[in-house]
Amino acid sequence: MIQRIPTRLFVLLAALALIPATVAEAQVGQNMGVLNPNTATESELAALPHMDAAKADSIVAGRPFMNMLDVNALVADSLDEAQRDELYARLFLPLNLNDTTEKEILLVPGVGNRMAHEFDEYKPYAHIAEFRREIGKYVDDEEVARLEQFVFVPIDLNTASDEDILTIPNLGNRMLHEFKEYRTYSRIEQFRREIGKYVNDDEVARLERYVEIRAQDSD
């Protein structure tokens, strides 16, 4: 008889990479309820702490955001630091661990200068499992799981598994098929051109944040 793993324990085991690789090694961190400003609905946005219909409308109008600093620019003037932390605990654009600044890392709720340094110290990350291992040197497993919600490591378009590709927010099986259909990718422009057959330029730009083409070892 197979026993179900409780959700909370599942998340912590994932952080420790003790469950099967197809789940534990997903490139985008486990999400425990943080909305993505590029995909949340206007009603979801308006219901968040310190948000209203006008702020929600401005976020929808500003899509797609390429970094969290742009989101912050829309709300920073009207919210103090404590209010922003409360909001960003529920609304955050995941950070590309290999292409982010300390200023952006410091927008993650609960992250100060010391932890921002540790995020940066271990670049480049090949996989989200590396983030779990390295940051786990400084905080407990539950905090690693919390921090993981705010970050990602881009997938390699040519080698990523189905499970890794499907960790991209709001990417379903149809687009999974299209991602794989055009392998092998040699340049990111090829990805833009081929995926642009199915979605508009804004959506191509949103998806592009999560992908890269890594150099392959030659024989």
Q: List the chain domain ranges.
A: 7-33+93-152, 42-88, 156-212
CB-CB contact of 143 with 137 (8 Å):
no
pLDDT digits 0-9 by tens, 46-58? 999 999 999 999 9
pLDDT digits 0-9 by tens, 153-190? 999 999 999 999 999 999 999 999 999 999 999 999 99
Angle between helices 7-15 and 141-148 (to 10 degrees): 90
The confidence band for 22, taking pLDDT boundaries of 50, 70 and 90, is very low
- pTM for this entry: 0.83
Best mean pLDDT range from 25-29, 33-37, 214-218 = 33-37
The alpha helices in the chain, defined as continuous H runs, are 7-15, 21-24, 42-46, 53-62, 68-75, 81-88, 102-105, 113-121, 128-135, 141-148, 162-165, 173-181, 188-195, 201-208
Angle made by CA atoms 135, 137, 140, in degrees to the nearest 5? 80
